[in-house]
Structure 1
Amino acid sequence: MVAPPPPLTATFWTSFWRNKIPHNAHNVWRRLLINELPSGLHLHSIIPDMVELLCLVCGTGLEASQRLLFSCPKKLERYHYAFVRENQAFKLRTVLAAVDLVITQVCAQLAEKKSRLDY
Structure 2
Amino acid sequence: MNENNKLRDVFDAIADPTRRRLIRLLAEAESGEIPLHELTSQFDMGRTAISKHLVILKEAGLVLDRKVGRETRYRLNAAPLREIQDWVAFYSKFWRTNLLRLNQLLEEEDI
Same fold, judged at TM 0.5 (above): no
For CA contacts below 8 A with separation 6 or more, give which structure has more relative contact order.
Answer: 2
- Higher relative strand content: 2
Q: Please report the TM-score for the alignment, with normalisation by the length of structure 2.
A: 0.30
**Structure label with greater radius of gyration:** 2
